[in-house]
Amino acid sequence: MWENERLLKFVPRDIVDARSRRRLMAPEDDFNHVLIGKGAKAVADAGGTVLMGAHGQLQGLGAHWETWMMVQGGMAPIEALATATCDAAWYLGLDADLGSLETGKLADLVVLDRNPLDDIRNTEAIAMVMQNGRLFDRELNEIGNHPAKRLPFYWER
């Protein structure tokens, strides 16, 4: 993440560094996300509901990492994507409004340049975002019906 140009464009370097440092002496088994992913896969295979959850270690990254973890644990990419979309909306009772692309649902979506079914890490290949029916490009400039250039962040001023 320290070399992720996109992340560093939207989050100040001092915040990225402070929230992503890890002691180099941590043992290999301290990185147990693959075991957690395998456990999530076992729950899903047994008929349970598994949902992606991210606690915001770094804004926006946690959701990607959790979804990737599901695949590392054995889920197919389509199953992992469902944990973050339609299954999550259903669990929250919001599936009438969120979680899938259907007429009448809220227009909040992410448009990708590359297919996450081919490689789950393609969830980072964001081309556009639509929020409340407003379309933004990858630089967060509004490009839909009301084009507007993104204002500079405080660290860009």
Predicted TM-score of the model (pTM) = 0.83
- The per-residue pLDDT for 6 is 81
Asked if 114 contacts 104 with a C-beta cutoff of 8 angstroms, the reply is no
Going by the DSSP 8-state scheme, the letter that residue 139 receives in this structure is T
Residue with tokens 């941590």: 26
- The per-residue pLDDT for 10 is 85
What residue spans define the domains of the chain? 5-156
Per-residue pLDDT of the chain (157 residues; tens, 9 = 90+): 667 788 888 888 888 887 777 666 666 666 688 899 999 999 999 999 999 988 766 667 888 889 999 999 999 999 999 999 999 999 999 999 999 999 999 988 999 999 999 999 999 999 999 998 899 999 999 998 899 999 999 988 8
- The per-residue pLDDT for 53 is 86
What contacts 57, CB < 8 A, 6 or more positions away?
A: 19, 20
Q: What are phi and psi of 112, to 5 degrees?
A: -105, 150
Asked if 141 contacts 150 with a C-beta cutoff of 8 angstroms, the reply is yes
How is 43-97 classified by DSSP, letter by letter?
A: HHHTT---------SSTTHHHHHHHHHHHHTT--HHHHHHHHTHHHHHHTT-TTT
